[in-house]
Amino acid sequence: MDASIGAILQFKEALTLVDDRYLFSVAFGPADKRESCFESAQSMYERLLLRQGSGDVLSFNTIAKIAVNRDGTMNTQKIKQLIRLFRPSRSGELTPLDFLKSIDAVYKEFRVLQAAIENSGMVDRAFELMVNW
């Protein structure tokens, strides 16, 4: 795998922009800890239900609206990604538990990535100390 120095610097810069407190967005809410992420996800689910207007269970169509392009067409790639992420039922519904599990899976993946990057940085610093010695 060939990575340019520019790509590496861009990746490092992107990591510095990730705000731990608002991992997903300020609109989503705090996600600095798993508990706060659950609370924010629950709040987001309830806000989406209100936006939907009716029903006790969130319709996938409510979430799918973020895949609409500016010209009104659907971005099928985004729809596929959303389906893989949220796994709605065959009837197109998303229970609160399914929604929370999906958000938690992304949260855990990010934390694993974050730990791997920190470990890599420690190895790099140790190797640099050895080489500089």
For residue 88, the SS3 value is coil
Element (H, E) at 93: strand 93-94
- Predicted confidence (pLDDT) per residue in 63-102, tens digit: 999 999 999 999 999 999 999 999 999 999 999 999 999 9
Assess if residue 43 is contained within a domain.
yes
Instruction: Look up the pTM and report it.
Output: 0.76
Burial category of 88 from C-beta neighbours within 10 Å (exposed 0-12, middle 13-18, buried 19 and up): buried
Q: Which domain holds residue 43?
A: 35-132
Assess if residue 2 is contained within a domain.
no
Assess if residue 14 is contained within a domain.
no
